[in-house]
Amino acid sequence: MESENTIVFKVSRIYLPQYLEGEFFIYVKDGVITQITRENHTRNFIDLTDYIVAPGFVDVHIHGFEGFDVSNGGMDAVIEMSNRLPKTGVVAFLPTFVSLPFENLIGKLKEIDLGYKNFKAVPLGVHIEGAFINPKKKGAMDERFFLEGNVELAEKLIQFGNVKMFTVAPEIPNALNLIRFLNSRNIKVSIGHTEATFDEVKEAYANGADSITHLFNAMAPFNHREPSVIGASFYFDFYLQIIADTHHTSKYVLKLLKPYSNRVVLITDAIEATNLGEGIYKLGGFEVYVKDGEARLSNGTLAGSVLTMDRGFKNLIQYGNFSVEEAVKSSSLNPLKSISELSFGEIKENKLANFVCLDESYTVRKTVIKGKIV
């Protein structure tokens, strides 16, 4: 007999992430999976047998969504993103900052409260992309606000306890000291917006950096004599953040990534324009023009994306030839492993009941967060 606060889901096709088929019952108490069994102990269950059930999507690199941008809107934007992202299968995310004046960034970080009780998709921490990077690979960010690898400045940025990840260019002054410091504070370092050589990336990896920010984009190109950050990304055991929109990363390159699917981390790099159609929007202080599924500055530079995790998931399968299980891992478990978050990402006992319900075309139909359909 289950207790009053136990919720039971009946499923027939489930990715744990490995695939199982048959009649299963998932018991959830206080948001946590307590049992997965073939035995039916109750008549009171939520029937999900029409769907393919998989771990919910996690986006560790997202600036905005549906008119809201964390760099401009701070906590208000985080709440709105939290409310809106579940329709795309997202159960958790890292709101990601572009470059801002230092005091503005401090102000925004101060107001982001991860303890807020009414989140739907849960912000697991902040990703600061636009601080410690190379102006020669600035992408769509304002280089006036870039910083050298200053540990004292980093200490100020992490003082509120809500920063989970920094993007760092290993070649900027004092970068290795910064990487070592962040690693000592259990803050993840992703290499990006960089002209680093293979050897510079090797040193960064040895000192604790273990992800690559939007691989292939805003970095020195691969060369067979100087493999650069791209070569090092594959040579060493980095998590590989991929914007699978077929604009930032060609559909042919997605297929080349299949052998590395155990390290692929699907991201969106989405901006406020996402899900709003073509038009003129903002990213940081810049106007962004969205047309034909691309977001660009007036000079043609790609400026984030309008990708959603559910579309990226489909693209990994359709263009990358990923198996569904590989795409599931790249969209859920791998992103969480890349930030050392192990409380969910798999449908198994003692994990949070965070999952997505997909139809036969892998379109999101329902999203479950801590045992509740949201």
**Bridge partners of 25?**
10, 37
Backbone angles phi, psi at 40, to 5 degrees: -95, 110
Beta bridge pairs of residue 260: none
From the candidates 269, 292, 310, 359, give the one annotated as an active-site residue: 269
Is 214 annotated as ligand-binding?
Answer: yes
Any binding-site annotation on 224?
no
For the chain, helix (H) and strand (E) counts, in that order, are 10, 22
Residue 269 appears among annotated catalytic residues: yes
> Do the annotations mark residue 303 as ligand-binding?
yes
Q: Return the structure tokens found at 87.
A: 């329709």
Judge whether 278 is annotated as a binding position. no
Cβ neighbours for 194, distance < 8 A, ≥ 6 positions apart: 133, 134, 137, 169, 170, 171, 218, 219, 220, 229
> Is 304 annotated as belonging to a binding site?
yes
Phi, psi of 235 (to 5 degrees): -70, -40
140 is in an annotated binding site: yes
Residue 144 assigned to a binding site:
no
One-letter amino acid at 185 equals R
Q: Is 218 annotated as a binding residue?
A: yes
Q: Among candidates 309, 371, 366, 374, which has minimal Cα distance to 344?
A: 371
Residue of 48, 47, 53, 50 lying closest to 19 (CA atoms): 53
Residues designated as active site: 269
Positions at the binding site for substrate:
140, 217-218, 225, 248, 302-304
Positions at the binding site:
129, 140, 193, 214, 217-218, 225, 248, 302-304
Positions at the binding site for Zn(2+):
129, 193, 214
